[in-house]
Amino acid sequence: MDQPIGVIDSGVGGLTVASELMRQLPKEQLIYLGDTLRCPYGPRPKEEVIQYTWEMVEFLLEKNIKMLVVACNTATAFTLEQLRQKLDIPVVGVIQPGARAAIKMSQNMRIGVIGTEGTINSKAYPKALQIINSKIRVNDWACPRFVPMVEDGILSGSQALKVVYESLKPLKDKNHIDTLILGCTHYPLIRDIIQEVMGEHVHIISSGEETAREVSTIMGYHKKLYNGERVPQHKFYTTGRLDVFEKIAKIWLDQSINFVEKANISKD
């Protein structure tokens, strides 16, 4: 089916999911929208996150997408069921794939989750994990400084290390987790620093790979996969600064992006 897959995120973090989609589904065209102007979503009230998410969805629906990937954990926590009920295309979030991957990896069933305030307060990950296995002990921890740092393009160096160390020290000191879920799609952009702070004995889980695998499975089931031969032309939209978005996209996707435009989606 020659229609694009839509990917939405509160900013640049969803590029971690887009990268996996491009790797696992090399024939599929992506249309990505990052709401960098209003990022982060984590500290925002639930109703505001729902409003902003729907504004992004409506923008992508005009592009005739065949499937929607909600690459923002906060938006997934607050809107996924609503989107699935109201849209007539498949919708995939990032929380359940990440939870399943963590359970596969953990040996002691002590799993940590880090995310924005919104994601952590929603308890979406503990619910997803304990539905599968009620014996799992979950330690979740909000890291509100991470998303603004990543959105500013600070992905390495002493400043990034200081922020990560200060944010994760309480989680590291108090618990014996062997697996840590990066419950925000921005966080894989600073994965190496998180690993350094937590230690090599802790398995780091990013939901991008599992999410892409789920997208592939669902599209195959619904007969929505593109069956021809092509090199797809992906399109990227941002509500914020183009230069910052392009800089981070080039680093994370490891390639130049040929189409990036400003999107005006706010109805305020």
Reply yes or no on whether 39 is catalytic: no
Reply yes or no on whether 72 is catalytic: yes
74 is in an annotated binding site: yes
239 is in an annotated binding site: no
Burial 85-122 (b: 16+ CB within 10 A, else e): eeeebbbbbbbbbbbbbbbeebeeeebbbbbbbbbbbb
Of the residues 22, 72, 83, 147, only one is catalytic, namely 72
**CA–CA separation, 96 vs 185, rounded Å?**
13
Of the residues 7, 60, 147, 184, only one is catalytic, namely 184
Token readout for 247 is 């800089």
32 is in an annotated binding site: no
CB 266 within 8 A of CB 55: yes
Q: Which burial class, exposed, middle or buried, applies to 142 when counting CB atoms under 10 A from its CB (0-12, 13-18, 19+)?
A: buried
Sign of CA dihedral 79, 54, 89, 211: negative
**CA–CA separation, 72 vs 82, rounded Å?**
15
179 is in an annotated binding site: no
73 is in an annotated binding site: yes
At 63, which amino acid appears?
A: K
152 is in an annotated binding site: no
Among residues 72, 24, 86, which one has the least CA distance to residue 225?
Answer: 24
At 127, which amino acid appears?
A: K
Q: Which burial class, exposed, middle or buried, applies to 134 when counting CB atoms under 10 A from its CB (0-12, 13-18, 19+)?
A: exposed
186 is in an annotated binding site: yes
42 is in an annotated binding site: yes
Catalytic residue numbers read 72, 184
Going by the annotation, the residues of the binding site for substrate are: 9-10, 41-42, 73-74, 185-186
Going by the annotation, the residues of the binding site are: 9-10, 41-42, 73-74, 185-186
